[in-house]
Structure 1
Amino acid sequence: MLVYGDHAREVRPSEVLAAIRGRLRRVEAVPAGLARHMALVSLLLEAGELAQGLLDAGFAERRQDEPGQRGAAFLALPMAFARALRDSYVSGFMRYSPFPDEVLDALERLELPERVTVKEPEGYTCHALYPELYLEAARSLRLLPRPPLVVGIRGIGTSLACVVAAASGTTAPPFTVRPEGPPFQRTLRLGPGLERELLARARESHVAIVDEGPGLSGSSFGAVADLLEKRGIPEDRLLFFPSHAGELGPVASERHRLRWARARRYTADFDALFVRPDDPPPPLAAWVEDIIGPIVGPLVDVSGGAWRHRVFPDERHWPAVHVQQERRKYLVLSERGTFLLKFAGLGLYGERRLARARQLSEASLTPHVEGLRHGFLVQRWLEGARPLPLARGLDRAELVARVGAYLGFRARRFLAEPGRGASLAKLLEMARYNSAQVLGDGFAESLGVWAPRLERLSAEVRMVETDNKPHAWEWLVLQDGRLLKADAVDHHDAHELIGCQDVAWDVVGAAVELELDAAEQSILAEYVARASGHAVSGPLMDFYRPCYLAFQLGHHTLAASALEGVVPEEAARLRRAAARYATLLRAPTAR
């Protein structure tokens, strides 16, 4: 099924460096504490992304990775921030090593590409993957006879490798590589100079291989290990730094699976470090006390669908969710009440989502936002609110009007840059592929009637930061009858291929999930047009409907397959939901 997609954007290195220099000066004026540590994390992330973009630009030009002074200069910047972050972390946010200006000066003097492409680091934006976890995991490297050679897998492995290198005490920047090829059969393409230098250093020390994952196959980790073993580096000299302690995914090769089972793996657990430490209060609670008041109860994990216990008394009413992909979220009780802490992203990613969340809450469209602390958005938990499927007495016309006001607000306030979402051609490709897997090639072929119309339809697209999650349980009905959107900040920023779209995508999605008929969908579109100041295209809604249904069909089918042997009862819910989307996909369009 086609469900996921890489999110990338173009940046100007000169502008990124200027922004980093400006933020660095502001950091130097921030008192010791969490706020300064958060700023150092943000600088590390941005420097790591820039280094990834610059190194990948060289890879694209030469079609291989090569060493050199330029590459070392690119990595010197995130290395300097990794050392500062290390010192801040181990000192309890009290101090950090001064940043050497000559590192930034040297990079600014280089002749850099006008633009480079940077990949969004999903671990930092979606999966609560903290650089501090890699600092903890790498502590024991200082016990080795000599510092290890560190190899990072681009993209997120660029900054994470710098963190591991800083933790190990080495003064040398890491190597980084870009595996390529089919997703489950990655290989490396190294230039002769890089291979010689890499192997020469690998023969003298252990090799720490750093990335997030492993995912379905672990083939990126495998590509690095395969090359080193083929060149005579013993397996027991390879040290793996993944983001979790689990085994390889279901499509891993048997050879990689066996090696992974034997491998020396170094990880640190988020909950053990930030949620359940020996000394109360846990760090995550301490991070937010300045904005919600003293904590008077334990953190309650409501991730992985556990929130359903709080809002759906009867398990038979639980909606289907992909429990492995939900954002981390916790409830915490303070003297001021109960609050939801939800991971929204580290660094600038979290700051942008905080700004979006504040606009929505100030417009009385979402729960009140208290602030952001080290990646976690802090919101009021509305104890008396009921999810829409359990609410009684809400008039259908009023529901359509309120949903229309919400979607219209997004369409007016959250315009998106071109390229932040899948093209109509990509959506059609997805719809045809996903529907063929369930409904057969004949149905998929029938969607081909849209192909000649895509150019004209594309001219009608007005890209916005769409909600992308209009499901009924995402809407909360308050005791006074008001309707709020529970989760409205970042679904368009997830690693799914949809991304940003025209608001017509949300209109169609709301019609599907709230079971609106054709007349109600038309009225919803009118409310959206009134609130946004822009008409909603009827032909675009007609096109989006099979695409939306095919995407949801693919998402739920793929999630069910992933959970079949892990959480079978959840897989059954997901399959029932997928069957509903398949039925709607077969039916005539709503218009």
Structure 2
Amino acid sequence: MASGPAPWVYRDGRRRRNGPTLLSELVQLVRDIGTSPSSNARESAATNALVACGELEAALADAGHRSAPSVALETDCLAAALLGQALDSEHHAQVLEQLDVPAELLTSTQEGCAFYALHPSSYARAAHDLGPCERALVVGIRTIGATLSAVVASALRGRGVHAARCTVRPGGHPYARTLELDPSRARAVERARAEHALAVVVDEGPGLSGSTFLAVAERLARAGIPDARIVLMASARFDASKLAAADAASRFRRFRTIVAPVEDDIPVYGTSLSGGVWRARSFQHESSWPAVFAQMERRKALIDGGTRLMKFEGLGPTGRAALERGQTLFQAGFVGPWREEGRGYVSYRWEGAPCRAGELDLALLEHLASYCAKRPELCPPRAPPEDLGPMLEKNLAVLGHADVSVPRLLMVRAATVDGRMPPHEWLRRADGTILKCDAIAHGDDHLFPGPTDIAWDLAGAMVEWRLAEDACEHLLNRYAALSGDDARARIDAWTVAYATFRAALTALAFDQSSCSAERGRLARDLHLYRSTITTARLRRGFHR
């Protein structure tokens, strides 16, 4: 796989949202700060409001809207509140209520805050590593850079630094980004040059190429700011020689890089179970371990003396939506009780044993059918479903299945699907009851499929549990009886779609893993998904 084109697994994180609704939601989040009953609750409320305000600021800036500077000032105030400064939340809510915003805005998810446990306050700590300076221009790379640059600027101001702030969005090919400055940002850069200010470029990442950071830093250098006064502030340590941008290593060496201490942000001390470590506590023998994509796993830890599993479920709008799903699924009896731990983390009781495919019985099949039947009502989609056809066409070609035609996917019952249906994601308690793990966040993350038909989860159950034909028939019949939706006419197409995406993701994980044992487990799963695609081609007519 490594020698060919890369699989396509990440979906477009942009969404079209109603502008007044976004503003109204932000106003309520700001008011929530003032009504928070404790300091921890206030910090959580301030964080959620800050992330939402940064998202709105970035969307308005992308649109070139006149309200963008006003919202940027509110982002600054919320960043200061997160760092401990007093905030008159009602006053700021009223200021926001008076603003004019477009009827529709294109927003982007701040992936670090939503999926990778990046808390904005970690960038305040990183700001202390900048050393002494009198003036600074903090340049945030949109979208998440709007939020993070406000935190860095606030931290610098707290030290007496005269810190200005602006945001930019480089464009062009992902591996060769470029940056054009509009007049207002060009003036800000010129002032920074004339005042011998430190220029701090703030973003998460870098990603696969590093070209976004480089586009901004090199544009500042061309504007006359010395390389020695340009600092890159990233969220992860990286080897520039492995980045895809041309001459990335030599270009990054021109500039100083500071990494925000994201790893310090687990809010409660515990034993880390991230990167697949949890398997050693869940299975007696390594031979039973499921494969994992270690770099993509949510951060997690064992806390409270080993009695609770704490897992990052998200900050900001994405995190709030996950908690709403968690509450609904708990009330329906599908997930266990949970509690918020702060900073986007949720903890669950560490109980039960992972199910195994060989343990499947009629009661478990009934539970799977009931879960799929009820999920669309319990977890409705937050956005319209995407067209998965282009993703499937590319990945079928990448996987060597160009002879398989892209199936027509009928959208009948849209949902925020679960997306994680393997046996080990279901826990059997001592009393025999079944609980679902990983149920509240993954269907709304940055990977495909996003909001889609519930047949995705039905297909996932059939493939991952390796159901025989009679078991598949029973599952679909019980699902139809419970939901009124007969999925049999469309399930084969969705099975191809599910297996194709999972094969693409597994191939990517295989290429990025350096552990021979893990690569063996991933190869096993890849064989399963490829076999599913081949069976569909031979038996179901999905061939060109």
- Per the normalisation by structure 2, the TM-score is 0.90
Q: Determine the structure 2 residue equivalent to 1:155.
A: 143
Letter in 2 for 1:404: A
Structure 1 counterpart of 2:176, from 179, 185, 191? 185
1:311 and 1:20 map into 2 onto residues whose CA distance is 41
C-alpha deviations, 1:522-555, integer Å up to 9, x for none? 3212222333x33143332121111111101100
1:33 and 2:44 aligned: no
Tell me how far 1:418 sits from its aligned partner: 4.5
AA aligned opposite 2:128: R
More off after superposition, 537-546 vs 301-310? 537-546
**Quick one: which amino acid aligns to residue 476 of structure 1?**
L
Q: Does 1:438 align with 2:409?
A: no
1:231 and 1:26 map into 2 onto residues whose CA distance is: 42
Compared with structure 1, are the counterparts of its residues 58 and 229 closer, same or farther at alpha carbon in structure 2 (3 Å cutoff)? Answer: same
Q: Deviations over 1:6-61 (max 9, x none)?
A: 223333333333333334334223345111111111110111111011111128xx
Seen in structure 2, the aligned counterparts of structure 1 residues 502 and 237 have a Cα distance that, compared at 3 Å, is same
State the aligned residue count: 529
Matched, 1:175 2:125: no
Counterpart for residue 27 of structure 2: 21
What's the % identity of the aligned pairs? 32
Which runs of structure 2 are paired with 1:415-430 in the superposition (5 Å)?
Answer: 415-419=380-384, 421-423=385-387, 427-430=388-391
Contact kept in structure 2, 1:149 and 1:202, CA below 8 Å: no
Q: How many Å apart are 1:201 and its aligned residue? A: 1.7
Residues 92-491 of structure 1 aligned to structure 2 (within 5 Å): 96-99=85-88, 108-141=97-130, 143-169=131-157, 173-203=164-194, 204-248=196-240, 250-261=242-253, 263-271=255-263, 273-274=264-265, 284-285=267-268, 299-334=270-305, 338-382=307-351, 385-389=352-356, 394-419=359-384, 421-423=385-387, 427-441=388-402, 443=403, 446-448=404-406, 450=407, 454=408, 458=410, 460-491=411-442
- Counterpart of 1:541 in structure 2 is 491
By how many angstroms is 1:316 displaced?
1.8
- Separation in 2, partners of 1:100, 1:407: 42
- The CA distance in 1 between the partners of 2:168 and 2:29, in whole Å, is 29
Q: Structure 2: how far apart are the matches of 1:461 and 1:230? A: 54
CA distance in 2, matches of 1:110, 1:544: 45
Helix, strand or coil at the partner of 1:447: coil
Amino acid in the other structure paired with 1:538: R
Q: Distance in 2 between matches of 1:190 and 1:579?
A: 49
SS at match of 2:339: strand
Q: CA deviation at 1:111?
A: 4.0
Cα deviation, 1:351-391, whole Å, max 9, x if unaligned, reads 33223223223333223223453311111000xx22222x8
Query: Helix, strand or coil: the match of 1:379?
Result: strand
- Runs of 5+ in structure 2 lacking a partner? 1-6
Q: For residue 79 of structure 1, what is the aligned residue in structure 2?
A: 76
CA separation in 2, counterparts of 1:438 and 1:24? 48
Range moving further from structure 2, 309-318 or 198-207: 198-207
Q: Is the 8 A contact 1:492 1:500 kept in 2?
A: yes
Q: Which residue of 2 aligns with 1:46?
A: 52
Residues 233, 258 of structure 2: 8 Å contact kept: yes
Q: Structure 2: how far apart are the matches of 1:20 and 1:551?
A: 35
Q: Which amino acid aligns with 1:21?
A: V
Q: Which moved more, 1:102-111 or 1:9-18?
A: 102-111
Moved more, 145-154 or 506-515: 145-154
How much does 1:100 deviate?
Answer: 7.9
1:467 deviates by 0.8
Tell me how far apart the structure 2 counterparts of residues 261 and 478 of structure 1 sit (CA, whole Å). 54
Q: Counterpart in 2 of 1:498?
A: 449
* Contact 2:28 2:93 (8 Å CA) reproduced: no
Instruction: Give how far 1:110 is off.
Output: 4.8
Residues in 1 aligned to 2:145 and 2:136: alpha-carbon distance in whole angstroms: 16
Structure 2 vs 1, CA of residues 19 and 351 (structure 1 numbering), >3 Å: closer, same or farther? closer
Q: TM-score, normalised by structure 1?
A: 0.84
For structure 1, list consecutive stretches of 5 or more residues without a partner in the other structure: 60-68, 88-95, 276-283, 286-297
Residue 246 of structure 1, CA deviation: 2.3
Tell me, what secondary structure is at the counterpart of 2:304? strand
Amino acid at match of 1:439: G
- Which moves more between the two structures, 46-55 or 222-231? 222-231
Q: Sort the Cα spacing of 1:359 and 1:112 in 2 relative to 1 into closer, same or farther, 3 A.
A: closer
One-letter identity of the residue aligned with 1:422 = E
Q: What SS class does the counterpart of residue 377 from structure 1 fall into?
A: strand
Counterparts of 2:327 and 2:96 in 1: how far apart (Å)? 36
CA contact 1:404–1:528 (8 Å) conserved in 2: yes
Aligned to 2:4: none
- Counterparts of 1:25 and 1:395, CA distance in 2: 49
Corresponding position of 1:528? 479
In 2, distance between residues paired with 1:364 and 1:229?
A: 57
1: distance between equivalents of 2:431 and 2:111? 38
Correspondence for 1:513: 464
Contact 1:40 1:84 in 2 (8 A): yes
Cα-to-partner distance string for 1:266-301 (whole Å, 9 max, x where unaligned): 223234x345xxxxxxxx22xxxxxxxxxxxx6111
Say if 1:406 and 1:240 are closer, same or farther in 2 by CA, change over 3 A: same
Rate the CA distance shift 1:209–1:402 in 2: closer, same or farther, 3 A. same
| 2:534 counterpart residue number | 586
Q: 1:471 to 1:202 in 2, by over 3 A?
A: farther
Q: Which residue of 2 aligns with 1:93?
A: none
More displaced 10-residue stretch of structure 1: 146-155 or 537-546: 537-546
Counterparts in 2 of 1:105 and 1:34: CA distance versus 1, 3 Å: closer
1:123 corresponds to which letter in structure 2? G
- Structure 1 residues 15 and 259: CA distance shift in structure 2, 3 A: same
Check the 8 A contact 1:366/1:485 in 2, yes or no.
yes
Deviations along 1:295-321, one digit per CA (max 9) or x if unpaired, are xxx611111000000012211221111
Distance in 2 (CA, whole Å) between partners of 1:411 and 1:98 is 40
Report deviation, 1:182.
1.6
SS in 1 for 2:405: helix
- Structure 1 position 581, deviation (Å): 1.2
Map of 1:92 onto structure 2? none
Partner secondary structure for residue 439 of structure 1: coil
- Paired residues of 2:189 and 2:223 also in contact (CA < 8 A): no
Report which stretch shifted further, 536-545 or 465-474: 536-545
Residues 371 and 379 of structure 1 are in contact (CA less than 8 Å); yes or no, is this contact kept in structure 2?
no
Q: CA deviation at 1:85?
A: 1.0
Deviation digits for residues 77-129 of structure 1, max 9, x if unmatched? 10110111112xxxxxxxx3234877666655454311211111111111000
CA 1:103–1:38: 2 relative to 1, 3 Å: closer
Q: CA RMSD in A?
A: 2.5
